[in-house]
Homo-oligomer: A and B are copies of this chain.
C-alpha cells in the first residue's frame, strides 16, 4: 500500500471555497489501474490556517508512478496552481509506504 498526501494550509474563512474547488473537480481517478481510494481530509483549524490533505491510496508506488505519467493525470492537473487566494502557504506533498498492517478480526 502506498499513500500520497498533499497538505494544504487554507486561510480561515476560505474552507467552504476550498472544498467547492475539490467537489467540482474531475479527478479521472476511478478507472486508473491500482487506484484504491481518494479522500479529501479536513484537520484541525489553527489560528493562521485550517489544515486539509488530499489522501490517495494506491496498491503500490509503481501504480502511483504509472498514473503520474498518464493522460488521466495530465487532465486532472490541468487547472492546478489556481485559487492561490485560498492559501496561507504552498502545498506540501508527502509520500508514504506501508511497512506494517493491522486489520480487524
A residues sitting closer than 8 Å to B (CB atoms) are 1, 3, 19, 22-23, 27, 29-31, 35-44, 51, 53, 55, 94-105
Contact = CB atoms under 8 A, between A and B. Distances in A.
Number of copies: 2
A103 B105 CA distance: 24
Contacts of A23: 100
Is chain A's binding surface mostly helix, strand, loop or mixed? strand
Contact of A101 (B1, B38, B94): B38
A43 B97 CA distance: 6
B98 A39 contact: yes
Q: Name the 8 nearest CB pairs between A and B, nearest first.
A: A41-B96, A40-B100, A38-B102, A39-B98, A43-B96, A42-B99, A40-B99, A42-B97
